[in-house]
A and B are shown apart, each in its own frame.
Chain A
Amino acid sequence: MASRTVAFAGSAVRIETSGVAAADVVDFLFRHIPQGQSAQPHVTFRVAAEGDWLALSRDGLVLHARDSPAAVAGTLLNEVTHALIDGSRAGLVLHAAALHTEGLALLLPGRSGSGKTTLTFRLAACGLAYLTDELVCVPLGSSDLEPFTRPLVVKKEARAFLDDGFDSECVSGRRLNGEDTIMVSPAGIRTAPGPACRPALLVFPRLQPCGRVAVERLSKAQAGMTLMSCLVNARNLPAHGFGEASRLARQVAAYRVTCWGRDHIDETVHEIVALCEEALIENAPRS
């Protein structure tokens, strides 16, 4: 039996695997999470291959057993994510996508359905490097960023917004097609490991099905309020992370980008890229 420790934001879980198919699923999901962090696992998952079936258990309790690697992978990813959040105390853990360029990170905080994943995929195609489509940690008192670099999870209803041949049913090693979602490995999109990056721009996406694309600069207080709504580990932090969220809102320019239905996605992406270029100029070292 093999095992792997997955760590994020000062929290860790252990995942044990039995069988090649189980190991393949776990490797697909977590190979881009850096190893070697010092946190002790507080929960153990086990994925066992039994014939054509994969069985997932947590601390000995069976959670899911199916003959679909994609289905078990989806459940495992959700369970690991929630377990990591439960134990995270090292910083603000935000429900946010993130990409970076030249050491500066763009964060897209927002709830499920706000468009983070679709925008992330399209922004990566524009040249930004993928960090995560789900969670970032801003360590307490730090300006660095720790992304949870998982496969990008595309809901099937969002496939229409993507233009990279998602009709293939073949598991290519970089994609895992399920009934409701498609997972795209970070290896399948632009990912560029580099030096630690710091947040330089907050863009809060808001999906509306019709209307024009709108870009609104947020005040620091507005940004702080919206960040608090995207915080998923508030109860684990001193003062629920309020001070840290205020600090981040003070330091980083924030915008709300609204209304990017299918007919406006290119324009939306263009607006965000322009904001990134401004942030690069703003954050350039002063000579």
Chain B
Amino acid sequence: MSLEATPRHKAGVLVDQLDDELLLYHPALETAVYLNQTAFLVWRLCDGQRSVARICEVLDGAFPGAAEQIVADVGTSLQTLAERGIIEFT
């Protein structure tokens, strides 16, 4: 995954927030996904404007001192969300 790729939410995915987590459902794929707090935050930043690199910068600002781990975690989260049809890259 390129750090310059720009993720965005896929159309048609149903979303519901339950407490501080997110439940999503893709009707065409008939799959449900739940996002914990951290994954929820990453998902929220996928607005079609921010690149992967920019998402990592935002999270580094919120959680300073963990830049390498953030890049790894964000990459994993985005890959998983893409595989499950929740996001796409422009």
Interface residues on A, range: 10 to 19
Chain B residues positioned under 8 Å from A219 (CB to CB): 18-19, 21, 34, 36
Q: Is the interface of B mostly helix, strand, loop or mixed?
A: strand
For chain A residues 239-276, which have a beta carbon within 8 Å of chain B? 239-240, 242-243, 246, 249-250
Interface-side segment among A72-80, A124-132, A197-205, A223-231: A223-231
Q: Is the CB of A228 within 8 A of B25?
A: yes
Chain B: interface residue total (CB-CB under 8 A): 15
Closest to A227 in B: B32
Q: Is the CB of B32 within 8 A of A225?
A: yes
Q: A-B contact count, CB below 8 Å?
A: 52
Q: Is the CB of A246 within 8 A of B18?
A: yes
Chain A residues positioned under 8 Å from B34 (CB to CB): 219, 221-222, 224-225
Chain B residues positioned under 8 Å from A222 (CB to CB): 21, 34
B90 CB to closest chain A CB (Å) equals 26
Q: Is the CB of A240 within 8 A of B27?
A: yes
A104 CB to closest chain B CB (Å) equals 22
Q: Is the CB of B23 within 8 A of A249?
A: yes
Complex-state Cα separation, A229 to B32, whole angstroms: 7
Say yes or no for B16: interface residue by CB 8 A criterion. Answer: yes
B31 CB to closest chain A CB (Å) equals 8
For chain B residues 6-37, which have a beta carbon within 8 Å of chain A? 14, 16, 18-19, 21-23, 25, 27, 30, 32-36
Say yes or no for A234: interface residue by CB 8 A criterion. Answer: yes
Q: Is the CB of A225 within 8 A of B19?
A: no
Binding site for B on A (CB under 8 A): 219-222, 224-225, 228-229, 234, 239-240, 242-243, 246, 249-250
